[in-house]
Structure 1
Amino acid sequence: MSTTSESGQAKNLANLEILISYCINFEERYNPSREDLKIANLQALLTKTKAALAEHSLKVVAQNHAISQRQEAFAPLKSLSTKLVNAFRISGVDDLTVARAKAINRKIQGKKALSTLKRMKKETPEEPIVTISTSQQSYNYLVEHLDALVRLLAAHSEYNPHEVPLQIPTLKDYINQLKACNLAVMNAHVAYEGSRSTKNILLYHDKTGLLDIALDVKAYIKVIFGVKSYEYGLIKGISFKRRDI
């Protein structure tokens, strides 16, 4: 679906195309000395900007797809983490080691370490507790926490489940999948930003962008034909608007 900004940009392109058609119909009477305003250069700018807008649209689709794929891959992570801790707990490891696994799971779940906060309050009851968010819910942190949990499980031979989804090789493959999804989103975003920059330079750069060039073409027509002329009347209603970019 096109955004308001994209539709506005497409409208600017369409209006430049209309403006160029009028300039061509003016024949030899349209004869600016400035190179940027000559018809051939207007057509080249139109073609280049159309291509940039189309390329950016593709990058938007690619980024959205990468984000969707990452969301799908990460969806089962929290429930899996809880399941791993429960399986670890009944595997025969000591309580302290289980507590370490639970602490990692709290980070994955985005829960604050309540026992730590209570201990802080008990130690210094007269001081206000200033907490920094411990949720660490970014995708990179989630991968790091899951990796830490899996390394903890792998370090204890007691943890040896028969269920394939809970086995260490399967978990390592899942972590690699999550890392790949993160990398795909990062790469897609870099490509998106690059295409966005190119598009915006062509459309909105001061003096040389499509918007300023089109407005200068209109100004030139007003000068050579007159503000009340039939020719200027043909093109004065062709609008070019700067949108959020």
Structure 2
Amino acid sequence: MTSVNSETGHYKNVANFKGLIHFCESLKSAYQPSRADMTIEKLNEYYNTATAVMDQVATAEIQLSQAVQNRQSLFEDTKKLAVKASVTLQVVNPLSVAIKTAKHYIAKIRGKRLGTVASASDANETTEAPKARSAAQTSFDAIITHFDKLIAVIATEPGYAPNETEITVIGLQARLSLLKDVNDDAVRAAAKLKLLISQRDQILYKPDSGLTALARSVKQYIKVLYGAKSNELKAANVYSFRKR
């Protein structure tokens, strides 16, 4: 995850770029660069582009945080719901052959290991997987898969017809659909943020044409105008820029 200091650095670079623009404006007619992208007008345009993408990144970060929290909350609640449904299955028919298999999937959903596997497909997954693979299999995608299989197992018990809507087969299927939705929301939010961060980094740090490169060129131009030891260059250098 991106550090707070790194994020602060991005904002400081953009803020300092605006400060450098103001300084260039203070030079008035003396500031006449031959490069079109170094004119005051173009510098302001670039600043506006940079602030826009920074705002988009900030919004995307909030959206991702909310999506992750929503997913985490629903998945944690689903673990409890799965246990409730499994216990109800045992109450309905203590002799049901589905109980053992249901417990197997409950353990996987909760991230606990059981000594037996319930199906040939699961056995193959276990024996063929690398040793480094976690036995818990508690990733969000895995929980969705195991919850789906749990529902299928519960549905095989003819007597399973609880009065509590949320743990009926239909209710569990509705929860499964919701799990998929919130998981997809989080995945999409993460992908969107990743894309925007890439765009931001290009705008701020692209070699030769990014915001920080442009700032260096402006300072070099001021150095040419006034000299390496001039007060003008010292004033321009007050606006520092960090690398990515």
Question: 2:41 maps to what in 1?
Answer: 40
**Separation in structure 1 between the aligned mates of residue 228 and residue 134 of structure 2, nearest angstrom:** 63
Whether the 8 Å CA contact 2:67–2:182 is kept in 1: the answer is yes
**What does residue 78 of structure 2 align with?**
77
Corresponding position of 1:133: 134
1:91 matched residue in structure 2: 92
In the other structure, the counterpart of 2:241 is 240
Partner of 1:183: 184
- What does residue 152 of structure 1 align with? 153
Q: Which moved more, 1:201-210 or 1:227-236?
A: 227-236
Question: 1:104–1:149: 8 Å Cα contact kept in structure 2?
Answer: yes
Match of 1:101 in 2: 102
What does the per-residue CA deviation read over 1:30-79, in whole Å, with 9 as the maximum and x for residues that have no partner? 22222222222111110110111011111111111111111121121222
Output the CA distance in 2 between the equivalents of 1:219 and 1:132.
54
> What letter corresponds to residue 41 of structure 1 in structure 2?
K
Q: Quote the offset at 1:7 in angstroms.
A: 2.1
Q: Structure 1 CA distance, aligned partners of 2:52 and 2:60? A: 12
Q: Distance in 2 between matches of 1:239 and 1:91?
A: 71
Q: Distance in 2 between matches of 1:44 and 1:26?
A: 19
Once residues 165 and 217 of structure 1 are traced to their aligned partners in structure 2, the CA distance between those partners, rounded to angstroms, is 64
For residues 54 and 164 of structure 2, what CA distance do their matches in structure 1 show?
Answer: 50
Flag the 1:131–1:207 CA change in 2: closer, same or farther, 3 A. closer
The percent identity for this pair of structures is 29
Task: Tell me the secondary structure at the aligned position of residue 18 of structure 2.
Answer: helix
Alignment: residue pair count: 229
CA distance, structure 2, for counterparts of residue 20 and residue 154 of structure 1: 68
Distance in 1 between the 2:191 and 2:239 partners? Answer: 35
Contact 1:15–1:240 (8 Å) recurs in 2: yes
- Aligned residue for 1:198? 199
For 2:236, give the aligned amino acid.
I
- Unaligned runs of 5+ residues in structure 2 are 118-130
State the 1:220 CA deviation.
Answer: 1.5
Task: Give the AA of the match of 2:164.
Answer: E
Contact persistence 1:93–1:158 (CA under 8 A): no
Partner in structure 1 of residue 121 of structure 2: none
After TM superposition, list the pairs within 5 Å mapping 1:19-58 onto structure 2. Answer: 19-58=20-59
| TM-score for the superposition, normalised by structure 1 | 0.87
Could you tell me which runs of 5 or more consecutive residues in structure 1 were left unpaired when the two chains were aligned. 117-129
**Is the alpha carbon distance of 1:43 and 1:131 closer, same or farther for their aligned partners in structure 2, counting shifts above 3 Å?**
closer
Distance 2:133 2:62 in 1: 36
CA shift at 1:115, angstroms? 4.9
What root-mean-square deviation, in Å, do the aligned CA atoms of Structure 1 and Structure 2 show?
A: 1.9
In structure 2, the residue matched to 1:110 is 111
Q: TM-score, normalised by structure 2?
A: 0.87
- Matched with 2:19 is 18
1:119 matched residue in structure 2: none
**Counterpart AA for 2:88:** A
